[in-house]
Amino acid sequence: MLLVVDVGNTNTVIGVYDKDRLVVNWRITTKKDGTVDEYGVVFRDLFNFSSEVKFEMIDSMIISSVVPPIISPLVGMAEKYFNVVPIIVDSETKTGLRILYDNPKEVGADRIVNAVAAFKKYGGPTIVVDFGTATTFCSISKNAEYRGGIIVPGIMIALEALFQRAAKLPRIELKKPDRVLGKNTANSMQSGIIFGYAGLVDGLISRLEKELGEKSFVVATGGLAEVIASESKKIKKVYPFLTLEGLKIIYKMNS
């Protein structure tokens, strides 16, 4: 079985594939200073709570990470606890995409992985919107070219900034309010975030499509994708496990 690991700034998403079937998946907080053995304990505990997969079933592994210090202890954990040498997604990894960034090494591994999965599933032109720590937009052409993208502050960053920088604004539950016009502080903040980000997404995609001279299929992923997609006119599909799917595809290309 294949263990896929996507390390983000806030969360780490883990999945296990049996051939093309995603058997189980977990989302944990990214621990930026963990040791080999600490990661070993975390992964062992996750497997202990699963009835479908066991620790010893893993015979291959692939990792993408936007947090460089975590790569080394994760590799050490893979070798010590799973007895496998993982593939690390970087600028040298085969992806099937031509990267048109000025410096391809600047593109985050997660963005490339998402692009690979989106092109495989939906073809091109496609735009991927990933609602993570940052909200990112990636454009893939019909010729399998990663054309570039957009990066804006993530939803939770925006919420936390309001709480920290405005003395009277509280931390709130992130949910869609009943109406745009808020009648209390919490609803006003919820409206600004949910409807505001939906408008941001649609506006930026419209500008991208105008600049590129073509319409694109838009797929969203990330922990908060469902919340915003329901209010967006441009997002056509939400695929929560797009990154895991991309890791599986890239593993097959490089194994």
pLDDT tens by residue, 8-67: 998 999 999 999 999 999 999 998 888 999 999 999 999 988 888 888 899 999 999 999
* Sign of the dihedral defined by the CA atoms of residues 105, 106, 112, 115, in that order: negative
* Residue 7 counted as an annotated binding residue: yes
- Write a three-state SS string for 179-241: CCCCCCHHHHHHHHHHHHHHHHHHHHHHHHHHHHCCCCEEEEECCCHHHHHCCCCCCCEECCC
In a domain, 161, yes or no: yes
Mean residue pLDDT across the chain: 93
> In the predicted model, is pLDDT for residue 219 greater than 90?
yes
Note down the domain range covering 19. Answer: 2-88
Active-site residue list: 110
* Phi, psi (rounded to 5 degrees) for 102: -55, -45
Indicate the pairing of strand 217-221 with strand 126-131. Answer: parallel
The encoded tokens of residue 182 equal 């808020």
* Residue 108 counted as an annotated binding residue: yes
Q: Which of 60, 88, 116 is the last residue of a domain?
A: 88
In a domain, 253, yes or no: no
Say which CATH number the domain at 57 has.
Answer: 3.30.420.40
The encoded tokens of residue 239 equal 């695929």
One domain, residues 43 and 74: yes
Query: With 0-12 CB in 10 A as exposed, 13-18 as middle and 19+ as buried, what is 146?
Result: buried
Q: How far apart are CA 243 and CA 116, in angstroms?
A: 9
One domain, residues 201 and 103: yes
* Residue 110 counted as an annotated binding residue: yes
* Residue 6 counted as an annotated binding residue: yes
* Residue 66 counted as an annotated binding residue: no
* Residue 10 counted as an annotated binding residue: yes
In a domain, 164, yes or no: yes
> In the predicted model, is pLDDT for residue 169 greater than 90?
no
Q: How far apart are CA 64 and CA 165, in angstroms?
A: 33
Residue 87's pLDDT is what? Answer: 96
Residue range 86-121, pLDDT digits in tens: 999 998 899 999 999 999 889 989 999 999 999 999
3-state secondary structure (DSSP) of residue 125: coil
In a domain, 251, yes or no: no
Task: Tell me the HSE value of 46 on the side-chain side, using a 13 A CA sphere.
Answer: 16
